[in-house]
Amino acid sequence: MRKWNVWPLLLALVLLVALPGAYAEGAFSMAGYDDEETGHDWQTNLFFERMEALTGVAPALTQYTTAADWAAAKTAMLSGAQAMPDALFKANLTPQETMAFYEAGKLIDLAPYLEQYAPSLWALLQSHPEWLDAVTLPDGAIVALPYIDELQFNNAMWINKTWLQRYNLSMPTTAAELEELLIFFRDHDMNGNGSSGDEIPLTFASLWDLRFLLHAFGVNANDYYVTTDENGVVSEILTSEENREFLTWLRHLWEEGLLDASGFTGLRSVSGTPDEETEVVYGVMFASSPADIVYSGKVQQYVLLDPLMCEGEQVYRDLTGDVIRGAFAVSSACPEDRIGLILSWVDHLYTEEGFILAAAGVAGEEFDYNDDGTWLWNDVSETLVTITLPNATLHGDATTPGWASVEWQMRMDDKATLHVLTELQRLRSIDSMPYPLVWLSEKDNARVNELIWQIGRYAEQQMVWFVVGDVELTDDTWAEFCQTVKSLGVDEMVSIFQSALN
């Protein structure tokens, strides 16, 4: 999965009233994972110092700086070989780990405490029932608290508006219109360098990218190749007629030279970091941001290509949803009289002020406001990445518990960033998750992972061969493909997902 460039977020620190009574340093113990590559050091990071000033509480911190060390620590805690801290922060708990810790009596149900001690989070969950559902176990318990961001990035289609304007071309709205436009890109000197043929009509980095085009055939499926209809019925899309029609169309695009010849290699034809002199050669691209592929100064040359229509309707995959689960939890080792304290502490992160503090720091220090209410960083980009963000914020991933203010993110004083965020907001009004966040048991999750490894390895290779022509897509080869996918257990996988959803 392609990773989004770090797009800054955040606002001035508004003083909050400290909790009644000041607690001594080490009022509760807290452990978690913050990778060494982020540059964060919890012992010196200004975030915790500033949180202490706000709350009167200074947790005793234990930071694990590698994924392997944190995984080993969680295993030891679960088995009882290592003592549990009072709380897990940036816990990076999978749904299966959350359930395993809870069933072993290692984590407590926070649902009875949230309304009183975490009113900001509780209000968010009450206003968005789907968020509440996502974090609630089948028995009604809320064990791990989330990170919530309605601006989660997506693998979107970006189209070169400069090229459209140069030839007075219209935005495509269907698969047929997109193909017609790509042919025009191929046959004309779109970038105005005096020669045609050096343009790449549509670029992508893998079949994973191209599968987002299934939406043009009315299909919205996830990485397990499953989708859910309006009645809650789960089905697989690999053996569907829509998938065969889609692969046939991709084969035609490939034969016509409309797809990036380097697409299935994972390496784009333009390598290295794009700079101001790098020529723009792409008509349509799949990316979370054009800045992933072109020089930042040319980002605004691209706009979001709205999801294509199929039989009068638009669908598109929501890649992550608004909720990232497993960010924070309270252990059964925590004394009863400290549970409210801990939840009140973390509840600050579910306010706009707390989000700003964690992601951007303090106004006048790490960033400043303009007269119009927009904000900008005080450091140049090099210093921002190497000093400011590591030392004064917890910015860098979605494992920090909290809520990300859309309004504040959209007030950043950076034209390229604001352009991308504004475009992605349009996509958010259309996209949806193909399958909702559910809780698979450890056994079911292990079986699904086993099945998808077998199914995905075969299906991805075979579908690429269909597209590039290594295997001709005929009635016989399609029947063989479907039969093999079925024999590898796709129906069993669908059954597991259906049972979990039920």
Q: What is the pLDDT along the chain (502 residues), one digit of tens a residue?
A: 333 333 333 322 222 223 333 344 568 999 999 999 999 999 999 999 999 999 999 999 999 999 999 999 999 999 999 999 999 999 999 999 999 999 999 999 999 999 999 999 999 999 999 999 999 999 999 999 999 999 888 999 999 999 999 999 999 999 999 999 999 999 998 988 887 788 999 999 999 999 999 999 999 999 999 999 999 999 999 999 999 999 999 999 999 999 999 898 865 544 445 566 667 899 999 999 998 888 878 899 999 999 999 999 999 999 989 999 999 999 999 999 999 999 999 999 999 999 999 999 999 999 999 999 999 999 877 788 889 999 999 986 778 999 999 999 999 998 888 999 999 999 998 999 999 999 999 999 999 999 999 999 999 999 999 999 999 999 999 999 999 999 999 999 999 999 999 8
Comparing CA positions, the residue from 244, 353, 323 lying closest to residue 16 is 353
Q: With b meaning 16 or more CB within 10 Å and e meaning fewer, what string describes 309-335?
A: bbeeebbbbbbebbbbbbbbbbbeebe
| Whether the Cβ atoms of residue 396 and residue 8 lie closer than 8 Å to each other | no
Domain 156-314: which topology? D-Maltodextrin-Binding Protein; domain 2 (3.40.190)
262, 266, 218: which is closest to 243 by C-alpha?
218
**Domain-wise residue ranges, the chain:** 25-149+322-411, 156-314, 442-501
Q: How far apart are CA 318 and CA 307, in angstroms?
A: 12
Residue entry with tokens 């043929």: 197
pTM of the entire predicted model: 0.87
pLDDT of residue 17: 29
Give the right CATH number for 25-149+322-411 from 3.40.50.1820, 1.20.1250.20, 3.40.190.10, 3.40.50.300.
Answer: 3.40.190.10
Beta bridge partners of 32: 63
Task: Tell me the backbone φ, ψ of residue 33, rounded to 5 degrees.
Answer: -115, 120
DSSP classification of residue 202: E
Could you tell me the CA-to-CA distances from 355 to 34, 129, 351, 398 in Å, in that order? Answer: 17, 21, 6, 12
- Residue-level pLDDT at 329: 98
What sign for the dihedral angle of Cα 458, 464, 468, 473?
positive
C-alpha atoms less than 13 angstroms from C-alpha of 274 in its C-beta half-sphere: 19
Reduced DSSP (H G I as helix, E B as strand, rest coil) percent helix, strand, coil of the chain, to 5: 45, 15, 40
Q: CA 348, 351, 357 angle in degrees (round to 5)? A: 70
The four Cα atoms 232, 235, 240, 246 give a dihedral, to 10 degrees, of 70
- In this chain, the answer to whether the domains covering 25-149+322-411 and 156-314 adopt an identical fold is yes
In this prediction, residue 383 carries a pLDDT of 87
Chain-centroid distance, C-alpha 39: 21
Sequence-distant (≥ 6) Cβ neighbours of residue 184 within 8 angstroms: 167, 169
Secondary structure of residue 283 in the 3-state scheme: strand
